[in-house]
Amino acid sequence: MVKYPMGHGPKKQIKLKRNKRINYGSRGMSLEERLNKSNEYYLSHNLAVIHKKPTPIQVVRVDYPRRSAARITEAYYRHASTTDYNGVYQGKYIDFEAKETKNKTSFPLSNLPEHQREHMLSCLDQGGIAFLIVSFSELDEIYLLPYQYIHQYINNNNKQSLTYDFIKENGYECPTGIFPMIDYLKALDEYLLENN
């Protein structure tokens, strides 16, 4: 018998659907946090060197109540940042942006600003690998979408978003788990195998 404080039992029982997929490992973690953990795993296992780029800011004012308690009270973005992540994998330069959407049918292109598009195109022009990691949070699906496909789509369509079907057809689904949390290198390996 379980005794509850104040003599009260649980107020509500939670019923789960049988076929519902539940991923307890990432509860409460953002896409970025999960990617950072994955990158730590890749680095510690000597698989890749990939880091999150810091956002370039200009510090204007700092309060110094004590030397150990200094805090920035005013800062501005120096310029628009490029993409979220870059690094080296199997001797290849990779550069990517990570985006999350609650939309189940599309990814709005307004979430991928022009300066990021130009940056990824420049990486491709120099022989690098550029891609977008798109998380459909409501569907619990994450895709690696090579930027050249996005670029062709934008040039050939007058649309404001990438459809889910386009991403599923042209992207590579990233397995999720614990180690690594998002195995986007497995998806990248599939892409490289098909395109080399």
Q: What is the CATH number of the domain that holds 42?
A: 3.40.1350.10
Strands (E), 138-194: 141-146, 161-163, 172-173
Q: What is the pLDDT of residue 77?
A: 64
**Burial status of residue 82 (CB atoms within 10 A of its CB: 0-12, 13-18, 19 or more):** middle
Domain assignment present for residue 40? The answer is yes
58 annotated to bind ligand: no
Domain extent, residue 179, equals: 36-53+81-196
Split into its structural domains, the chain has a count of 1
- 75 lies in some domain: no
pLDDT of residue 72: 77
Residue 152 known to bind ligand: no
pLDDT in tens, 19-43: 434 344 444 579 999 999 999 999 9
Average pLDDT over residues 95-124: 94
Assigned domain for 25 exists: no
128: in domain: yes
* Residue 184 placed within a domain: yes
In a domain, 102, yes or no: yes
